[in-house]
Amino acid sequence: MFDKIYELFKKNARLKFIITIIVLFLIFNIAILPYVGKRISSQGGIGPIDLQLFYSSEKVYSMIESYGNEIRLFYAIFELTGDIIYPFITFLMMVSITTILIKKVFINDKAIKFITVVPIVTLLSDYLENVSIVTMIFNYPDKLLFIPNLTCILTVTKWSFFVVNLIIIFFLSIIFIIKKIRNNK
């Protein structure tokens, strides 16, 4: 399974593609996500649930209540549109950068290619988190028993794997730089 996934990413990880993905990532982070965050916070809310790291059922439902009807609808629509696109862009960026670095750093990449699964776990956790948040919003004012706890686990999983991916990219970059310096001597 890893072989097919890795080969697909390896074949498609090109510099022009990565630059395009990074530009889209920056557009989301500079323009779209700040607007969404401000809009969600505008009516006394404390921001999006998926930007919290740890939270209880009480906190989640307090947040959902504070949004009001208009913001709840806005948030749910964004979760089903923009927050489907953004995690996918982030996934493509992370997996492409990781794949290119693996290709550049390792002669035999067979042993290390499994790390390209890290962005996949991040993406799947994010999507499941989005579904959970929308489920809570659409069922409000009814309070679902286990969904807030599941959502919190998914949020922690998403952010943990995102950080692991950043660490992997950091170390692969360091190895790449060291190899470049050694080869130029």
- Judge whether 42 lies within some domain: yes
In this prediction, residue 125 carries a pLDDT of 97
In this prediction, residue 9 carries a pLDDT of 67
Domain count, the chain: 1
Owning domain of residue 58: 2-176
In this prediction, residue 117 carries a pLDDT of 83
- Judge whether 182 lies within some domain: no
In this prediction, residue 107 carries a pLDDT of 66
In this prediction, residue 47 carries a pLDDT of 86
Kindly state the tokens that stand for 174: 């360091």
- Judge whether 133 lies within some domain: yes
- Judge whether 181 lies within some domain: no
Tens digit of each residue's pLDDT, the chain (185 residues): 556 666 666 666 677 888 899 999 999 999 999 999 999 988 776 889 988 888 999 999 999 999 999 999 999 999 999 999 999 999 999 988 888 888 888 766 666 777 878 999 999 999 999 999 999 999 999 999 899 999 999 999 999 999 999 999 999 999 999 998 888 87
In this prediction, residue 110 carries a pLDDT of 67
- Judge whether 100 lies within some domain: yes
- Judge whether 60 lies within some domain: yes
In angstroms, the CA 185 to CA 175 distance is 16
- Judge whether 184 lies within some domain: no
- Cα separations in angstroms, 182 against 102, 179, 185: 17, 5, 5
Nearest Cα neighbor of 155 from 59, 42, 39, 62 is 59
Structural contact between residues 172 and 96, judged by C-beta atoms closer than 8 angstroms:
no
- Judge whether 183 lies within some domain: no
In this prediction, residue 6 carries a pLDDT of 64
DSSP code for 185? -
In this prediction, residue 17 carries a pLDDT of 84
In this prediction, residue 103 carries a pLDDT of 81
